[in-house]
Amino acid sequence: MFTLVAANSVLAYAVSEGTTRGVVLVAGLLAVAIGALTAWWLTRHLIEPLQHALHVAKKITGGDLAANIDAHGVDEFGELMEALKRLRELMFQVVSEVRTGTTTVAGTSSQLNRDNAALADRTRNQADSLQATAASMRQITSAVKENADNAGRANTLVLSASDSAVKGGKVVSEVVDTMGSIKQSSRRS
């Protein structure tokens, strides 16, 4: 504001004096003042919001998803900040879902590990039981074979005893016949 008042004063002086040099001086001062105002306005309305948006984008890319993003304004920078805010919210949601999924996978993996260990134990127990059953079957097979061998020997002994009994029966029959003959002979005499 002070610059405009000073420029008006110098311009009024230059016009009253009628010098070209004064007009050029005033025009130069006015151009410097307008340039300074334009630079201030650009910095305030373009550079600062752009630097703020860049700072927020760097925070997001650095992994800071908890950063608060102040999105205000209806111009392009306001829209940019709103888009960055929405991007941060979506990334936060994705990271949360991934974290939840990771926790679920870890829990499921742990349960699968426990189930696999239990299955391995049951399989080992069944294998031990099958080995014990196979050993018992071998013992039973051995006992059955031994019983069959003993039965074969007993059968041989029975056949031998039967032959001996038949022969003994013939001998006894012959003795009875002989005694019967002797008895008859003794009656005759």
- The CA-based diameter of the chain, rounded to the nearest angstrom, is 209
Quick one: pLDDT at residue 180?
A: 84
Mean pLDDT of 110-135: 94
Question: Domain tally for the chain?
Answer: 2
> Within this chain, do residues 11 and 44 fall inside the same structural domain, yes or no?
yes
Segment 100-115, tens digit of pLDDT: 999 999 999 999 999 9
Interval 156-180 mean pLDDT: 88
pLDDT surpasses 80 at 10? no
Residue 45 has pLDDT above 80, yes or no: no
Structure tokens at 133: 């059953």
81 and 119 share a domain? yes
Q: Band the pLDDT of 13: cuts 50, 70, 90.
A: low
pLDDT category of residue 189 using cuts at 50, 70 and 90: low
Q: Domain check: are 55 and 83 in the same one?
A: no
Residues of the chain above pLDDT 70, percent: 88
Give pLDDT, residue 1: 56
For the cut 80, the answer to whether the pLDDT of residue 174 exceeds it is yes
Considering 63, 92, 110, which residue would you say is the last residue of a domain? Answer: 63
Q: Distance between alpha carbon 149 and the CA centroid of its chain, in Å?
A: 62
Asked if the model's pLDDT at residue 176 lies above 60, the reply is yes
Q: Are residues 112 and 134 in the same domain?
A: yes
Of 32, 63, 94, which one is at a domain's C-terminal end? 63
Structural domain span for residue 91: 65-143
What is the pTM for the complete model shown? 0.46
Chain CA centroid to CA 12, Å: 83
User: Are 42 and 57 contained in the same domain?
Assistant: yes
Q: Tens of pLDDT along 49-82?
A: 788 888 888 888 888 877 777 777 777 878 888 8
Say if 4 falls within a structural domain.
yes
The verdict on residue 102 lying in a domain is yes
How many beta carbons lie within 10 A of that of residue 56, not counting itself? 22
Q: Residue 19 pLDDT > 70, yes or no?
A: no
In a domain, 114, yes or no: yes
User: Average pLDDT for residues 182-188, to the nearest whole number?
Assistant: 80
Q: Last residue of some domain: 45, 63, 81? A: 63
Residue 116 domain-assigned (yes or no): yes
pLDDT at 60: 84
| Judgement on whether residues 42 and 72 belong to the same structural domain of the protein | no
Q: State the pLDDT at residue 20.
A: 72
Same domain, 7 and 47: yes
Q: Per the domain annotation, does 153 fall within a domain?
A: no
Clarify whether residues 108 and 138 are in a common domain.
yes
- Is residue 81 domain-shared with residue 16, that is, in the same domain? no
Distance CA 102, CA 108 (A): 10
Mean pLDDT of 109-131: 94
